[in-house]
Amino acid sequence: MATTTNHSAGAAAYIHDTDTQDDIESDSSIETDDGQYHLPEKIIAELKSKTGFVWYLVKWQDCPILRSSWEGSAVLESQPHIWENWKLEKQKQAQGSSKPLDIAAFNKAVLEVEKAEAQRHILRRLKRRVNRVLSIVSD
């Protein structure tokens, strides 16, 4: 069975080869910025590190695809249907009837979203400071 891997430079720069299975959170859900726990929905890509550790890009239920995260297999152990669906998807990709995720494009899109969120936070903080100063001046 073919594995969908992409070893392009910087494709997953934040995945370190020194990580081991012991470093992986064993919960099969993730808490996001909204404070909610989300179950894994599906695997959308996988990468194999130089040490042989396999990372899976997990799409979480009720979360946008750009909130997907790289996880070890421990997160998905209690989700056999996700494994089966991923095996089928890899077969489709090997046959050419489905395209693998462009990981470099995915990472670029994630970085753009993160930059935009950081800028919004900075602007919000600045607006609060300006409003504070204006309230002091107007008193």
The range of the structural domain enclosing residue 26 comes to 21-101
Whether residue 128 is contained in a domain is answered as no
Cα–Cα distance, 64 to 110 (Å, whole number): 11
Query: Do the Cβ atoms of 4 and 46 come closer than 8 Å?
Result: yes
Whether residue 106 is contained in a domain is answered as no
Whether residue 97 is contained in a domain is answered as yes
Whether residue 95 is contained in a domain is answered as yes
The secondary structure of residue 22, as a DSSP letter, is G
pLDDT digits (tens, 9 = 90+) for 82-124: 999 999 999 999 999 999 999 999 999 999 999 999 999 999 9
Domain of 67, CATH number, reads 2.40.50.40
pLDDT digits (tens, 9 = 90+) for 17-64: 444 444 444 345 565 566 778 899 999 999 999 999 999 999 999 999
Whether residue 92 is contained in a domain is answered as yes
pLDDT band at 134 (very low <50, low <70, confident <90, very high): confident
**Count of helices and strands (H, E) across the chain:** 2, 5
Whether residue 48 is contained in a domain is answered as yes
How many domains are there within the chain?
Answer: 1
Whether residue 84 is contained in a domain is answered as yes
Q: pTM score, two decimals?
A: 0.66
Cα–Cα distance, 44 to 42 (Å, whole number): 6
List, in sequence order, every residue forming a beta bridge with 57; answer none if it has no partner: 45, 70
Whether residue 39 is contained in a domain is answered as yes
